Structure 1
Amino acid sequence: MIESAQILRLLVQRVDQELLPTIQINSITPHNPVEVHSVSAPWQLLGAGNYAAVFCHPEFPDQVIKIYAPSRPGFDEEVEVYRRLGVHPTFSTCLYVGKNFLVLRRLHGTTLYDCLHKGLTIPKQVIQDIDQALNYARSQGLNPYDVHGRNVMMWKGRGFVVDVSDFLHQGTCLKWTHLKRAYYWLYRPILAPFRLQVSYFLLDMVRRSYRLFCRSPGYRHVLH
């Protein structure tokens, strides 16, 4: 425990002294990933969501840093979500809370979105793991919201949830329900047997079309 605390303290110092003073994160629109500029080596950008970006440092392979863009909401809510989740194998764990950043336990793997692009086989166990994780979140008083192919992933045949920032939102979100239906109706019988690779261009078209579909009156009645 002492060694882990020392590692965490050193990492936070590096974030304060090296990463935060140089990084630039801009959120142009709330429905598209933030734009990240001026990432100084050896820090690396792992990914960007609509409100925040995630970074890693090669000397700290077991942790990641999630930094929120200025003026974007959700930081306090995500802290509360991780407090309720505690320690769970399918979710990350919040190790430290800074002014506008979180230190999280790193989850390794490939998002299901990228699995489709690379033609990687997604076994049923991955879907089942994520289902069980979302049920656990509900048991902790959370509402799994905005769960889609870019924030769930696969590692060694098991499923993980990598973004829980919207789990305090109210209302019904059917994205995971629709993704599962597409998995069983389209992916398993058509894409998986041939290990077809789907271009990012096509995947992005599907993502944009689905976003428009979600705004339509029939959204809550289709595939539910």
Structure 2
Amino acid sequence: MNNYAGLAGSVVINPKDHKLIQYDASLALIGVGRSAYVFKINNTNHALKVFFPSYQHLAKVEADVYKIIQHIDYFPSLYESGSHYLVIDFIDGYTLFECLSRGIPVSENHIKDVDMAINLAREEGLNPSDIHLRNIIIHNGKIKMIDVARFKQGETDHQWNDLKTAFYRLYTKSFFPKKIPAFMMNWIAVLYKRFYRKSPIHIK
């Protein structure tokens, strides 16, 4: 029997600065975001997402979203959730951010797959939001979307539409570089949030 709760409990995060203090040896740190650390559970195809102390309420929110979209192949499966953690599929691949920074081609089919995933989630009564380059992964040629907590927010988020516009107006053009430095994309993201995401996002 998998002791996911025990593994999640082994993860110690400083509540003041969110620095990772310790975690079980059977976990491999694979990422950190604005609200959580993500680990691959060794010898499995599962990932453990442990939320920072001040963001633990998002564990239930995100788990509830995953339960709604379990049947949609564009999203990982949820295996367990607790007060401050989730266990989902480990998705092996590159995010769109990594694709652009490494010069890995992003095709129109990938963009259409994201649109399909969004539309299918909307059919379930959700409001897909906070969709950006780091939470879209190309896995075996197909896309998988992660970090779905904000699919329950009330406000309309135009971020994906803006990214899609940039894809067709710039990326698809022959003159546009297909490899973009990470620092440049980070700088653009900061400016975008400053000028287009002035109001806080509220989750229903």
Classify the TM-score, shorter chain: 0.7 to 0.9
Contact 1:152 1:163 in 2 (8 A): no
CA deviation after TM superposition for structure 1 residue 52, in Å: 1.2
Q: Give the percent of matched residue pairs that are identical in Structure 1 and Structure 2.
A: 27
**Which stretches in structure 2 are left out of the alignment for 5+ residues?**
200-204
Aligned to 1:23: 12
Highest relative contact order (Cα 8 Å, sep 6+), 1 or 2? 2
User: In structure 1, how many angstroms separate the alpha carbons of the residues matched to 2:193 and 2:71?
Assistant: 32
Question: CA offsets, 1:128-186, max 9 Å, x none?
Answer: 11110110100111100100111112123222211211111001100100010111111
Aligned-pair Cα RMSD in Å: 2.2
Aligned to 1:10: 2
User: In structure 2, how many angstroms separate the alpha carbons of the residues matched to 1:27 and 1:185?
Assistant: 43
Question: CA offsets, 1:47-104, max 9 Å, x none?
Answer: 11211111012211x1110111102142221121011112321101111112311111
User: In structure 2, how many angstroms separate the alpha carbons of the residues matched to 1:180 and 1:166?
Assistant: 19
User: Does 2:101 match 1:117?
Assistant: yes
**Which stretches in structure 1 are left out of the alignment for 5+ residues?**
1-8, 29-33, 218-224
- CA distance 1:172–1:153, shift in 2 (3 Å): same
Aligned to 1:132: 116
Aligned to 1:165: 149
Q: Which moved more, 1:181-190 or 1:208-217?
A: 208-217
User: Does 2:53 match 1:70?
Assistant: yes
Contact 2:8 2:48 in 1 (8 A): no
User: In structure 2, how many angstroms separate the alpha carbons of the residues matched to 1:212 and 1:200?
Assistant: 18
Contact 1:64 1:106 in 2 (8 A): yes
Aligned to 1:201: 183
Aligned to 2:169: 185
Aligned to 2:202: none
The one-letter code of the counterpart of 2:51 is Y
Q: Which moved more, 1:131-140 or 1:154-163?
A: 154-163
CA deviation after TM superposition for structure 1 residue 25, in Å: 5.4
User: In structure 2, how many angstroms separate the alpha carbons of the residues matched to 1:161 and 1:151?
Assistant: 6
- CA distance 1:187–1:37, shift in 2 (3 Å): farther
TM-score (norm 1): 0.80
TM-score (norm 2): 0.87
Aligned to 2:83: 99
Contact 1:26 1:36 in 2 (8 A): no
What count of residue pairs does the alignment treat as equivalent?
198
